[in-house]
Structure 1
Amino acid sequence: MSELIIRRMKEEDLAQVCAIEEETFSMPWSRSSFQETLSYYHTLFLTAELEGEIAGYCGCYQSLEEAEITNIAVKRQLRGHGIGRRLLEELMRIGKEQGAFAYTLEVRVSNQAAIHLYESLGFVSFGIRKNFYEKPKEDAMIMWRHWEV
């Protein structure tokens, strides 16, 4: 695999980001949702670029020392190559520099590949949100990762 470049998401990335979002999620964010989110000072959204194309992205909202990871997706044909891991590691590295010492996310209970990735990065399950997801209806596992301050 060529060199993977992790960088902040830009508005000109959104066509490719939205294509990945639509291929990944049954209820994808719209382009306008991404545009609005990118304008907020308390958000951090990153892309993984491979050979000039967006291979994946992730993002979070940060509030003081906590951050909520809202999105992470990798192009279907590039999954399993560590791109999601690299994105999350960089997201948390930058967030930690900005004072975030706890991260949370929700994940479909059936998404074992994602759960395994999150656990390998130090996230632990803190409970279940019943019927959190639609299309199809499914429970969400709530996961957290904390650092010592």
Structure 2
Amino acid sequence: MSAPWAPGSPAGSTPASPGGSTPASPGGPPAPPLAGPPAEVALRPLALADLSALVRLERSLFGPAAWSAAMLAEELAGPGRWYVGADVPAPAQTPGRVLAGYAGLWFDGDDAQVMTIGVAQAQQGRGIGALLLDALMRRARELAADAVLLEVRVDNVPALALYDRFGFVRLGRRRGYYQPENVDAWTMRRALDSEEAPP
């Protein structure tokens, strides 16, 4: 993937605008709080019933690099996967709620991997990306993961700032990770302490 916002994934993602509460950095004082996401944002687990909405949002964000419907279905149902969505009220004159963002985690029994984070362009800058990442971190702690890993485009400044605030550190650079753009990725890691309180 490659576009406005979504961290790393096997196909290559790029992240969205940061915001929301800020966790403490390991070994240092807490970072200053940021404006949180609007109260109307609601998180919920995603299921195969959400596939059509997920596909639409994926394509709008990532264009030619978007995951296919089959790939997304496999992710939603795959072993060790956990996907969460962020719903917001639908536009005026439209009843119900709409999917404004999504994120996925894969746990292999040791470490957790951020598979993707995506936030609709119209909803970026409202703290939804941070809210989704926080949900993934909490899930990783519930699973007793040793650490959380991810890949992110080297030119994705908002995402890098978000991951820095969440205490991720850069491990190395992966050349040409994001295709078809042939953009490099940083591999990042955040160690999890079993005694650490969630952010």
Matched residues, number: 149
Contact 2:140 2:148 in 1 (8 A): no
Greater C-alpha radius of gyration: 2
- Which structure: greater strand fraction? 1
Contact 2:46 2:85 in 1 (8 A): yes
The one-letter code matched in structure 1 to 2:87 is: E
User: 2:41 matched to 1:4?
Assistant: yes
1:74-94 CA distances to partner (integer Å, 9 max, x unpaired)? 000110111011011011112
* Paired position in structure 2 for 1:33: 71
Contact 1:7 1:47 in 2 (8 A): yes
Give the whole-Å Cα distance in 2 for the aligned partners of 1:133 and 1:91: 22
Give the whole-Å Cα distance in 1 for the aligned partners of 2:48 and 2:39: 24
For structure 2, which runs of at least 5 residues remain unmatched after alignment? 1-37, 90-96, 195-199
- The alignment-based identity, stated in percent, is 33
Contact 2:114 2:150 in 1 (8 A): yes
> Of 183, 190, 193, which residue of structure 2 is paired with 1:138?
183
CA deviation after TM superposition for structure 1 residue 2, in Å:
4.9
Q: Which runs of 4+ in 1 moved over 3 A?
A: none
TM (normalized to structure 2)? Answer: 0.71
* Paired position in structure 2 for 1:86: 131
- Asked which structure has the greater RCO (Cα within 8 Å, sep 6+), the reply is 2
Give the whole-Å Cα distance in 1 for the aligned partners of 2:188 and 2:57: 23
CA deviation after TM superposition for structure 1 residue 105, in Å:
0.7
> Partner of 2:104: helix, strand, or coil?
strand
Give the whole-Å Cα distance in 1 for the aligned partners of 2:115 and 2:139: 16
User: 2:59 matched to 1:14?
Assistant: no
Contact 1:2 1:50 in 2 (8 A): no
1:43-72 CA distances to partner (integer Å, 9 max, x unpaired)? 111100111100100001101130111111
User: 2:104 matched to 1:68?
Assistant: no
CA deviation after TM superposition for structure 1 residue 41, in Å:
3.0
Contact 2:175 2:183 in 1 (8 A): yes
CA deviation after TM superposition for structure 1 residue 114, in Å:
0.7
> Of 154, 169, 172, which residue of structure 2 is paired with 1:109?
154
User: 2:104 matched to 1:59?
Assistant: yes
Q: Over the residues paired in the alignment, what is the CA RMSD in angstroms?
A: 1.3
